[in-house]
């Protein structure tokens, strides 16, 4: 399993803005990875390139032993009239009914299955939408601020569940929460502005949900590395 950018250069259409210049990075194993960087450096644009939503020359992105890359983001909204339970059920793979029931319960969505999507809070909408993607067929799931508007304790619980139940899948997590990225991801790609070389710097994450004294020191060290890399 490998998905990689190879000296990717990209300029927004009909503008002089170069967003990527000879950018190289890769995600090459199952687990929780991260795309991190300041606002405006192109994280969402890169995510859409990796998922195929934005076309680039075939030599710029290499995908090996990966059938399906899905991309979900925090602003994605279902039709307001949609029944939450029906929308989740409609994308569930055959034979995954029990997994659907378990995820709905674990994500705290059981009380809202008969509700219209537009009746949910933003955090509930994000949880419902993420559940839909986890029940589809994928090898790589890119989560672009997918847990925004979800409280910290619930975010941590959901990330833990995903890491446990989908250990064979690859996740690319985009978040501005430096502590969260440091704690839960084992491979962090820090994307920088296009004039900086290299444009992507790799930092090893802690990949440990614990908050022991040792873990806290590890988080502090990783955060410093990410700050310097940015």
Nearest to 172 by CA among 156, 188, 148: 188
| 128 lies in some domain | no
| 119 lies in some domain | no
| 194 lies in some domain | yes
- Tell whether the model's pLDDT for residue 192 goes beyond 70: yes
Q: How many CB atoms lie within 10 A of CB 15?
A: 8
> What is the overall mean pLDDT for the chain?
93
Strands 200-203 and 187-191: antiparallel
- Tell whether the model's pLDDT for residue 214 goes beyond 90: no
- Cα 154 to chain center, whole Å? 16
Number of domains in the chain: 1
Using one digit for the tens of pLDDT, what is the confidence trace for 103-157?
Answer: 999 999 999 999 999 999 999 999 999 999 999 999 999 999 999 999 999 999 9
| 124 lies in some domain | no
| 215 lies in some domain | yes
| 86 lies in some domain | no
- Tell whether the model's pLDDT for residue 208 goes beyond 90: no
Tokens 């990527």 correspond to what residue? 20
| 98 lies in some domain | no
| 102 lies in some domain | no
79 pLDDT tier (thresholds 50, 70, 90):
confident
CA distance 183 to 168: 19
Owning domain of residue 223: 2-77+137-229
Query: Does residue 59 or residue 216 have the better pLDDT?
Result: 59
Strand partners for 71: 142
Q: What is the pTM of this model?
A: 0.94
Return the CATH number at 71: 3.40.50.300
């Amino acid at each position: 399993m490998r998905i990689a950018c190879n000296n990717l250069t990209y300029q927004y259409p009909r503008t002089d803005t170069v967003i990527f210049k000879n950018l190289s990075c890769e995600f090459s194993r199952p687990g929780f990875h991260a795309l991190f960087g300041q606002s405006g450096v192109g994280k969402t644009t890169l995510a859409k390139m990796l998922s195929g939503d934005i076309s680039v020359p075939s030599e710029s992105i290499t995908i090996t032993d990966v059938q399906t890359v899905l991309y979900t983001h925090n602003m994605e909204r279902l039709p307001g009239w949609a029944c939450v339970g029906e929308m989740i059920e409609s994308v569930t793979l055959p034979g995954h009914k029990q997994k659907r029931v378990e995820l709905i319960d674990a994500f705290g969505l059981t009380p809202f299955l008969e509700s219209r999507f537009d009746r949910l809070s933003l955090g509930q909408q994000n949880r419902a939408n993420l559940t839909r993607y986890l029940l589809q067929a994928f090898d790589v799931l890119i989560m672009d601020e997918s847990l925004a508007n979800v409280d910290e304790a619930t975010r941590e619980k959901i990330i833990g569940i995903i890491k446990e139940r989908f250990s064979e899948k690859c996740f690319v997590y985009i978040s501005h929460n430096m502590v969260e990225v440091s704690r839960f991801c084992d491979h962090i790609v820090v994307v920088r502005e296009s004039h900086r070389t290299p444009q992507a710097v790799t930092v090893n994450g802690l990949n440990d949900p614990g908050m022991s004294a040792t873990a806290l020191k590890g988080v502090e060290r990783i955060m410093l590395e990410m700050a310097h890399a940015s």
